[in-house]
Amino acid sequence: MASEPNSHSQLEGPTNERTPNSNIIMLKAAIREIEDLKITHQHFRDITDKRVKVLNAENILLKQDNQQIKAEMDNLKKQIVALNKAGGVYCVECEESGGEEENNESDISGDREHMKDVLTSIQISLNNINPVTIALETLTPHQREALSFEAADSKPVKDAINEVFMRKLGVDKLEAKHLPDYLLSIDPSQCPKDTATQKISHCYNWKLSADDKANSKNLVEIQQWVILNATVEIPPIVGMLQLVLPKNLKHQICVKFQYMARQDLSDTQEENLVSMSVSKAHRDSCAQSKLNQQICKQPFSTYTDKKFDAAFILNAMSDDEDNPDYWPMSDEVRTFISRAPDYWSEILGNDDFWKDLSGRGLLLAVITPCKTEGKDAALKVAVYGGLAAAIATDIRNIKAVVGRVKTRGKWGIIDRTSGLASVAFTHQDTEGVEFEFYDSGPGSDDDFMQ
């Protein structure tokens, strides 16, 4: 009687599968975590640097505002002192017991003639005189000072200063977007020049004050030009300019410079604002908007397959590769099609040379094919080595995508579906192919080329 076979006595044949080493897996996971931490650390460093730049710009802006306020306060104090002396008004400090400031008018009551001069100095202004015909030698020093301050703040003088700034800077408007940057270490022959005089245009360092040597020389040149040439080049300023003292003209020019500096720093601050990562829904909306624009531009396109839309969106969103401030989300695909072929459309003529292709439209593309060596990728997955010479062909004739894989730079046909190319890895097609072809690891490279 034959005995039943013992299942424990049967031996299993050898297998080619290898048990993965747990230490190697843990090491790779640790390496990936370290790389992610490095990227996150660099990201936060960049954000910190940008915020520091923004704070420095705000600090410079506040310092300039503080200097301007101090200058205006000093000017007002001088005017108050001059008016008090002219009117015989003196400030008496209050004692500890308390008291209010008293006005000493003894000199006014004792000197009628002086009171008459005081009233005249108070009443005189640009509203009741003619700047062209007025005799400056008949004015008292206090009247001269008051008229100079009022004339420097008048519209004709401000317009003349603006006109000179535009000529010297070589711009049409004194706005932040038109103001030129300060040129550092540049050959004088390469500097922008005034077309009329062939002199180098002014460039100001907007981060520094008007008294700095980088700016003071050009501001003095503007003041001299206004004094010497403004009456000839800018007729509305005639008469008004003779009332302006040099110190008041300089002050008005510095005020205009500080205003333009604040405008430039404000514009720079807006450019340096930290742009945070947008949501996935926002990115999808941007991609869909770009796709809709592309469809509107090509209403007669024959590409109706959805893969064509997906490929276009990938290429459209890959523009973020060139943006140093771009920071992708953790769940976002970070591999883009970065070497798509250059293509253009062409309609062939009716010459006999083209034979059956006469009058047809072609979508030409310049591609670099792989050396196939007779291997047909339509039948099985093939591994190639090396590239052939570039060719021009109709893009509709391309049957597959050739891509460089992640290890050792080998080449392989990825996929071919419905006569259209698509990029995809499938484990079902790996039979007979070296395992290293599909390996992936740190420092890999996904640079696909159609």
| Each residue's pLDDT expressed in tens, for the chain with a length of 450 residues | 444 445 444 445 555 556 777 888 888 888 888 988 888 888 888 888 888 888 888 888 888 888 888 888 888 888 787 776 655 444 444 444 444 444 444 443 444 454 445 445 445 666 667 777 777 777 777 778 888 888 888 888 888 888 888 888 877 777 776 677 666 545 555 555 666 666 667 778 777 888 888 788 888 888 888 888 888 888 777 778 888 888 888 888 888 888 888 887 776 555 544 445 566 677 677 767 766 766 666 555 555 555 455 555 555 555 444 444 555 554 444 433 334 455 566 677 777 777 777 777 776 666 666 677 777 666 666 666 666 777 777 766 665 555 443 334 444 444 444 444 444 443 334 444 333 333 333 333 333 333
CA quadruple 56, 57, 59, 60: dihedral, nearest 10: 120
**Is residue 142 within 8 Å of residue 150, measured between CB atoms?**
no
Strands 411-413 and 402-404: antiparallel
**Is residue 148 within 8 Å of residue 243, measured between CB atoms?**
yes
Strands 383-384 and 411-413: antiparallel
Q: Token pair of 215, please? A: 């700016």
**Residue extents of the structural domains in the chain:** 106-271, 276-336, 339-450
Name residue 255's beta-bridge partners.
none
Q: Token pair of 348, please? A: 């062939």
Q: What's the rounded Cα separation, in Å, for the pair 364 and 324?
A: 33
Q: Enter the DSSP assignment of 448.
A: E
| Residue 446, number of CB atoms within 10 A of its CB | 15
Residue 67's closest CA among 205, 210, 170, 274?
A: 210
Q: Which residues contact 207 (CB under 8 A, 6 or more apart)?
A: 60, 261, 265
Q: Which residues contact 252 (CB under 8 A, 6 or more apart)?
A: 152, 153, 157, 158, 161
Radius of gyration of the chain (CA): 40
Q: What's the rounded Cα separation, in Å, for the pair 147 and 152?
A: 8
What per-residue string of b and e applies to 36-68 under the rule 16 or more CB within 10 Å gives b?
A: eeeeeeeeeeeeeeeeeebeebeebbeebeeeb
What is the CA angle 184-189-195, rounded to 5?
105
Q: In what order do the strands lie in the sheet with 361-367?
A: 342-347, 361-367, 391-394
pLDDT of residue 17: 58
- How distant is the alpha carbon of residue 302 from its chain centre? 39
Name residue 367's beta-bridge partners.
391
DSSP 3-state assignment of 65? helix
DSSP 3-state assignment of 347? strand
Name residue 63's beta-bridge partners.
none
pLDDT of residue 408: 43
Q: What's the rounded Cα separation, in Å, for the pair 121 and 93?
A: 27
DSSP 3-state assignment of 362? strand
Q: What's the rounded Cα separation, in Å, for the pair 367 and 389?
A: 9
Tell me the CB-side half-sphere exposure of residue 49, using CA atoms within 13 A. 7
| Residue 114, number of CB atoms within 10 A of its CB | 14
**Is residue 258 within 8 Å of residue 64, measured between CB atoms?**
yes
Q: What's the rounded Cα separation, in Å, for the pair 191 and 187?
A: 7
Q: Which residues contact 61 (CB under 8 A, 6 or more apart)?
A: 262, 265, 266, 269
Phi, psi of 346 (to 5 degrees): -150, 135
Q: What's the rounded Cα separation, in Å, for the pair 386 and 369?
A: 9
pLDDT of residue 59: 86
pLDDT of residue 302: 54
Name residue 364's beta-bridge partners.
344, 394
Rounded to 10 deg, the angle between the 22-87 and 141-152 helix axes is 150
Element (H, E) at 229: helix 213-233
DSSP 3-state assignment of 346? strand
Name residue 403's beta-bridge partners.
412, 448
